[in-house]
Amino acid sequence: MNQAILFFATGAYLSYLPGWALSKVGRVQKRGGEGFLGSLEGLFLSLIMPKNARIFLMVIVLASLIAFWVCGQAEKILGRHDDGRIILDEILGMMLAAFLLPHTVKAYLLALVLFRVFDMFKVFPCNWFEKLPGGYGVVFDDLCAGVMANLAAHLFV
Predicted local confidence at residue 58, as pLDDT: 95
Question: Across residues 121-134, what is the average pLDDT?
Answer: 87
pLDDT interval class at 29 (50, 70, 90): low
CB atoms within 10 A of CB 1: 7
Highest mean pLDDT of the ranges 7-16, 32-41, 66-75, 77-86: 66-75
CA distance 157 to 144: 20
Report yes or no: 109 and 97 within 8 Å, Cβ to Cβ. no
Question: Across residues 117-125, what is the average pLDDT?
Answer: 90
Predicted local confidence at residue 4, as pLDDT: 84
Q: With a cut of 90, say whether residue 145 has pLDDT above it.
A: yes
Range from 2-6, 61-65, 141-145 carrying the lowest mean pLDDT: 2-6
Per-residue pLDDT tens digits for 93-114: 999 999 999 989 999 999 999 9
Please give the DSSP secondary-structure letter assigned to residue 15: G
pLDDT interval class at 130 (50, 70, 90): confident
Report yes or no: 114 and 97 within 8 Å, Cβ to Cβ. yes
Query: Domain residues of the chain, as ranges?
Result: 2-156
- pTM of the model as a whole: 0.89
CA distance 35 to 116: 8
CB atoms within 10 A of CB 149: 28
- All residues at 6 or more sequence positions from 8 whose CB lies less than 8 Å from its CB, including other chains: 70, 88
Predicted local confidence at residue 41, as pLDDT: 92
How many Å separate Cα 38 from the centre of its chain? 5
CA distance 72 to 77: 9
